Structure 1
Amino acid sequence: MTSLNKSLAAAALVFAALLAGTAQAAEHEIKMLNKGTDGEAMVFEPAAVKVAVGDTVKFVPVDKGHDAATVKELLPEGVEETKGKMNQELILKVDKEGAYVIKCTPHWGMGMVALIVAGDKPANLEAVKAAKMAKKTRDRLDAELKALGF
């Protein structure tokens, strides 16, 4: 094989790997609801999702009066906090491994919390488990951690 052919073959492999990586990215949808399918009030549904780095998560306001916002202290290191507008979709791109805690700002104290986890061993998992919050929120977040195997 000539050096030109080797270079072309290497370039083709790199290109194929890049395409494979982007083709695998998925979009997950989480609904913002006044009442979940389980009868609970003020919920994200699903409340916990496991994703891959590169995936996106779209928060959809099915019922009015909700937003989606990251909790600054409960994000992977280096991830910028983000906040959607009331009654509007928010698309969150998952760029780093870790646990991402999302709240509905007006219903945070009522337990409206979602958990997104990218990777098998989130570096910020202990911070998420130890964070202080309202009892209803803590109980729901603990249930979400358990549902994802943490």
Structure 2
Amino acid sequence: MKLQTLLTAAAIAITVPAAGFAEDHQVHMLNRGADGQMMVFEPAFLQVEPGDTVTFLPTNPSHNAESIPSMMPEGAETFRGAMNREVTVTFDQEGIYGIKCLPHYGLGMVAVIQVGDDTANLEAARAVRHPARANQRMPELLSQVQE
């Protein structure tokens, strides 16, 4: 009887969705990055799987993390973290997500998260205009997307 219970448990474990194996990735919000650039997310590009979470960690009281609404997959929910507060976001919808720090957006504090393999919104994301330095940094980040 114990063998049958063990086999049943093993069968259930095999058929449980992989969501139980979701990862949490960390992104630091920094005044100065490892490469010397000012006002950065580090890493500024992430590729994650659907169901994974990303935790944005502030290191200074003047940072936040929020989505760029014009750089989101269709049907994805926007988010806005509070100033100087850790925010954890679950990315369920595949596609390309643009992220900004609102106070430092014009200084180029942006990030890109690719969720899964769907890049249907990549061209739309490339077409978005950003203020000042963000407009310079975003093309480099989008060039890292795996098509």
Equivalent position of 1:117 in the other structure: 114
1:126 aligns with 2:128: no
Percent sequence identity over matched residues?
A: 42
Shift of 1:99: 0.6
Encode CA deviations 1:41-71: one digit per residue, 9 max, x unaligned. 1000000000000100000001220000111
Aligned pair partner of 1:69 in 47, 56, 66 = 66
User: CA separation in 2, counterparts of 1:17 and 1:94?
Assistant: 22
How many residue pairs match? The answer is: 142
Give the aligned residue type for 1:126: E
1:35 aligns with 2:21: no
Give the aligned residue type for 1:16: I
Per the normalisation by structure 1, the TM-score is 0.85
1:17 aligns with 2:38: no
Structure 1 moving runs of 4+ over 2 Å:
11-17, 147-150
Give the aligned residue type for 1:34: N
Give the aligned residue type for 2:14: A
User: CA separation in 2, counterparts of 1:65 and 1:29?
Assistant: 18
Equivalent position of 1:82 in the other structure: 79
Give the aligned residue type for 2:51: G
- Classify the secondary structure of the residue corresponding to 1:136: helix
User: CA separation in 2, counterparts of 1:22 and 1:120?
Assistant: 17
Equivalent position of 2:140 in the other structure: 143
Unaligned runs of 5+ in 1: none
Equivalent position of 1:54 in the other structure: 51
Answer whether contact 2:66 2:80 (CA < 8 A) is retained: yes
Aligned pair partner of 2:91 in 86, 90, 94 = 94
Answer whether contact 2:67 2:80 (CA < 8 A) is retained: yes
Shift of 1:27: 0.5
User: CA separation in 1, counterparts of 2:138 and 2:100?
Assistant: 11
Per the normalisation by structure 2, the TM-score is 0.87
Shift of 1:123: 1.4
1:105 aligns with 2:97: no
Unaligned runs of 5+ in 2: none
